Amino acid sequence: MNIKRKRHFKAEVSTSSLNDIMFFLLLFFLIVSSLANPNVIKLLLPNSKSAQNLNKQQITISITRDKQYFIDNRQISFTDIEPLLKSKIGTLEEPTVILRLESTLTVQDLVDVMEIGNRLKVKMFMATNKKTD
């Protein structure tokens, strides 16, 4: 008695390694997205010989090359700086304003913003890049 077995070929796709690949892709994109900050205003800051880090509550005022004004990454006009800064200062205990100006701007542009800080009696610091020799 000759018994023959029928062997049917079934096509299979092994997906066990796809889980690992998807996990690594997800991990990669999570790390990259946390490192990339889309709300950054690109400025070329002036250089200085020393650097000092501040650990106080900060408000950042940024001024671009074409004189666009930003308070904490929110674009505003020059006339709105004082009222908005006054409202932000009222909520903080020891407010510190960090001025980030493009290095190509004039000293008068710096003085205009510092006068507002002087009227509001706020400590203001100018952000710089550490000079590399």
Q: What is the pLDDT of residue 25?
A: 93
Pairwise CA distance, residues 85 & 68, whole Å: 16
Q: What is the pLDDT of residue 26?
A: 92
Residue entry with tokens 């004189």 = 67
Q: What is the pLDDT of residue 10?
A: 79
Q: What is the pLDDT along the chain (133 residues), one digit of tens a residue?
A: 667 677 777 778 777 788 888 999 999 988 887 776 656 666 666 666 666 665 566 888 888 888 889 988 889 998 888 889 888 888 777 788 888 888 888 888 888 888 888 888 888 888 877 766 5
Domain ranges within the chain, ordered by starting residue? 47-130
Phi, psi of 130 (to 5 degrees): -70, 130
Handedness of CA 56, 72, 40, 109 (dihedral sign): negative
**CATH assignment of 47-130, given 3.30.1020.10, 3.90.1150.10, 3.30.420.270, 3.40.50.2300?**
3.30.420.270
With beta carbons less than 8 A apart as the criterion, state whether 89 and 59 touch: yes
Two tokens, residue 104 = 């190509």
